[in-house]
């Protein structure tokens, strides 16, 4: 794991609210909190599909701080999200053209690549 501080983007709160959820599984004493990430897959050129994948888990009694730390770690996990080099906004990998450019910037600045 890197000692670098987490990268933040201006839309992190929105992305976290839309694409990371906490699901309680089991009982209060022996249960778990699953942290699920929304993955975008494309079933056609204009047809995104959202599916949820368990990315991490914590004990059911985990503190709010532990949950926040786990959510921040997921935001900075390149398997799920990336920050666009052009606009600086964080996006799910399913919205990235090439891992460094989001689809919105690709449409705006790189038209020749989408023709």
Q: Which residues fall within 8 angstroms of residue 73, CB to CB, at 6 or more apart?
A: 6, 56
Q: Domain residues for 45? A: 12-114
Six token digits for residue 39? 């993955």
User: Considering the domain boundaries, does residue 3 fall inside one?
Assistant: no
User: Considering the domain boundaries, does residue 4 fall inside one?
Assistant: no
User: Considering the domain boundaries, does residue 75 fall inside one?
Assistant: yes
User: Considering the domain boundaries, does residue 66 fall inside one?
Assistant: yes
DSSP, collapsed to helix, strand or coil, labels residue 52 as strand
- Decide which of 109 and 41 is more confident: 41
Alpha-carbon span 74 to 12, nearest angstrom: 11
Residue 7 is predicted with a pLDDT of 65
Number of folded domains that form the chain: 1
Alpha-carbon span 41 to 70, nearest angstrom: 24
User: What is the per-residue pLDDT across 48-77, written as a single tens digit (0 to 9) for each?
Assistant: 999 999 999 999 999 999 999 999 999 999
Q: Is the pLDDT of residue 2 over 50?
A: no
User: Considering the domain boundaries, does residue 2 fall inside one?
Assistant: no
Q: Is the pLDDT of residue 113 over 60?
A: no
User: Considering the domain boundaries, does residue 5 fall inside one?
Assistant: no
Q: Is the pLDDT of residue 5 over 70?
A: no
User: What is the per-residue pLDDT across 73-111, written as a single tens digit (0 to 9) for each?
Assistant: 999 999 999 999 999 999 999 999 888 999 999 888 876
User: Considering the domain boundaries, does residue 79 fall inside one?
Assistant: yes
User: Considering the domain boundaries, does residue 7 fall inside one?
Assistant: no
Q: Is the pLDDT of residue 28 over 70?
A: no
Please name which of 95, 85, 108 lies closest in space to residue 19, comparing C-alpha atoms: 95
Strand pairing category for 20-25 and 32-44: antiparallel
């Amino acid at each position: 794991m890197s000692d670098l501080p987490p990268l933040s983007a201006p839309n992190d709160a929105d992305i976290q609210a839309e694409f990371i959820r906490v699901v309680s599984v089991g009982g209060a004493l022996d249960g778990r909190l699953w942290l699920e990430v929304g993955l975008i897959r494309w079933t056609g050129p204009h047809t995104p599909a959202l599916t949820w994948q368990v990315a991490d888990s914590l004990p059911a009694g985990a503190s709010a701080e532990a949950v926040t730390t786990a959510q921040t770690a997921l935001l900075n996990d390149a398997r799920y999200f990336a920050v666009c080099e052009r606009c600086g906004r964080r996006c799910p990998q399913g919205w990235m053209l090439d891992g460094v450019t989001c689809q919105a910037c690709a449409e705006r600045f790189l038209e020749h690549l989408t023709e």
